Amino acid sequence: MKWFSPARTWAVFIKEFQQMLRDRLTFAMAVGVPVMQLVLFGYAINTDPKGLPTAVVAADALVAKGEVQFMIVIPPGFSRDVVRGERPAVLVSVDATDPSASGNAIAALGEMTNLALRHDLTGPLQSLQRGAAPFEIRVHRRYNPEGLSRYNIVPGLIGTILTMTMVMLTSLAMTRERERGTMENLLATPVRPLEVMVGKILPYVVIGYVQLSVILGAAWLLFEVPMVGSFVLLMAMIGVFMVANLAVGFTFSTIARNQLQAMQMTFFFFLPSMLLSGFMFPFRGMPVWAQWLGEGLPLTHFLRIVRGIMLKGNQAPQLWAELWPMLLFLAVAGAVALKRYRQTLD
């Protein structure tokens, strides 16, 4: 018998898809929950961290990739112009995709003009401390010039909604089979573990793209969130993210004895993902240990990817640093799921 049969996988896919459509409540939740979260989070959240990474050189690539959040450009002849009293302008270029992370820092820049050179303007230059500030700061908010929170929240909702629904729906799949007594029929077939896993995951990929169409439609129609990058690239990255979360849900379904346990495991995974990914709070505002935990979650990297594509227009080479952790997570979760799956009942 072949180690993998597309025909057997397709049969499991059709069976799972039909069963999912019969469960109208679950299907309604898959479509209704994204709409409710989108409206509540999109309109209600408007939060405004310190020690943000800053580059004092021309570093457009670092800002685009999200490695630094501020870029300071000091013009040539800055010291000469200060001594002459010509008030040269210093450009501060800000990655404003997350207004809650950059808002307080931008506000603090107003005091910088009076305090930055206080210890240097002494002796003959002390007169420059009186009157107008010796230089001015011009802030350039990149990718989100108006500082709108919805530009950050709405793309992030794509990841959070897909995390919750993909893990939850898939984790209930195998436990539902056990509780309804249909697992024995499935185990009596010659379907292999990989074929069961792929066949059960694919219908929820379809549901995920349905959810995605709702979220993106609302993002453009209600919140006018821009789409600067490649739509095809965005769809591909979302596909990888969904499969990674579906593998987690499948793993939970092989561990849980009933649907209540599966639901508990889902929230055990979802809450850290939401809190430590940078969706609810600025990622760089968290302590180092929390950032290390967050880096191990696929949602953290996906949020950077989706915001990078939609707001910055990032291309595939700029996304690789965030893509490979998701692929590694997918490989580990898939291997654990296959190992946990048993073709015979205990």
Give the model's pLDDT for residue 217.
Answer: 84
> Helix crossing, 231-255 with 193-221: angle to 10°?
130
pLDDT tops 90 at residue 265:
no
pLDDT tops 60 at residue 117:
yes
Q: Which residues pair with residue 72 across a beta bridge? A: 92
Number of Cβ within 10 Å of residue 145's Cβ equals: 12
In this prediction, residues 108-118 reach a mean pLDDT of 72
| Res. 138 pLDDT band, cuts 50 70 90 | confident
What distance in Å separates the CA atoms of residue 3 and residue 20, rounded to the nearest whole number? 27
Give the model's pLDDT for residue 51.
Answer: 64
Taking the domains of the chain in order of start, what are their residue ranges? 12-46+149-340, 54-142
Of the listed ranges 130-134, 152-156, 227-231, 292-296, the one predicted with least confidence = 130-134
In this prediction, residues 56-82 reach a mean pLDDT of 80
- What would the pLDDT profile of 280-326 be if each residue is shown by its tens digit? 878 877 788 888 988 999 999 999 999 999 988 899 998 999 999 99
In this prediction, residues 250-275 reach a mean pLDDT of 82
Instruction: Give me the amino acid identity at 258.
Output: N
Give the model's pLDDT for residue 46.
Answer: 43
* DSSP calls for 122-147: -GGGGGGGSSS-SSEEEEEEES-TT-
Give the model's pLDDT for residue 323.
Answer: 94
- What would the pLDDT profile of 71-103 be if each residue is shown by its tens digit? 888 888 888 888 787 888 888 888 888 777 777
Average pLDDT, the chain: 79
The residue with tokens 């307080």 is 104
Q: What b/e readout covers 229-266, taking b as 16+ CB neighbours within 10 angstroms?
A: beeeebeebbebbbbbbbbbbbbbbbebeebeebbebb
Of the listed ranges 58-62, 113-117, 195-199, 262-266, the one predicted with least confidence = 113-117
Give the model's pLDDT for residue 44.
Answer: 44
CATH class assigned to 54-142: alpha beta
What distance in Å separates the CA atoms of residue 94 and residue 79, rounded to the nearest whole number? 24
Instruction: Give me the amino acid identity at 27.
Output: F
Structure-token pair, residue 271 = 């809450």
Instruction: Give me the amino acid identity at 164.
Output: M
pTM of the model: 0.72
First to last CA, the chain: 25
| Res. 344 pLDDT band, cuts 50 70 90 | very low
Give the model's pLDDT for residue 45.
Answer: 47
Give the model's pLDDT for residue 298.
Answer: 94
Higher-confidence position of 43 and 17 = 17
> Helix crossing, 316-340 with 193-221: angle to 10°?
140
